[in-house]
Amino acid sequence: MRNINVIIMVREACVKVNGLEYWVYATLDVDGNEMLSMRVYPSRNALATEQFIRETIKYCEGKPTFIVDNAPWLKQTLEELALPYNAEPFRK
């Protein structure tokens, strides 16, 4: 279990396999530089995002702070789960 002050970065990326798109979600413990979770979904939507975030917080005590890009589905999910986050652009 990670302590309550952990900062977790959430990343997602689209990959194509045999002409089909899949979404890879990953979370990283920023201070510990460790991957906490990674999952592949056939689509990117609020349900997949919520499932992934809920899975990730099982590895933490308390409520960690998340770092996400400005994707509205990520911010919405964290707000609905009452989890603190900072939205930062990862690319310019």
Cα of first residue to Cα of last residue in the chain, in angstroms, is 34
The CATH number linked to 76 is 3.30.420.10
pLDDT in tens, 47-79: 999 999 999 988 887 789 999 998 888 999 999
- Does residue 57 form part of some domain? yes
How many Å apart are CA 26 and CA 1, to the nearest integer?
17
53 or 91, which is more confident? Answer: 53
- Does residue 2 form part of some domain? no
How many Å apart are CA 61 and CA 71, to the nearest integer?
25
- Does residue 25 form part of some domain? yes
pLDDT in tens, 12-32: 999 999 999 999 999 999 888
- Does residue 46 form part of some domain? yes
Would the CA dihedral through 43, 80, 36, 92 be positive or negative? Answer: positive
Confidence of residue 3 (pLDDT cuts 50, 70, 90): low
High-pLDDT (> 90) share of the chain, % = 61
Domain that holds residue 73: 7-87
- Does residue 92 form part of some domain? no
Count: domains in the chain? 1
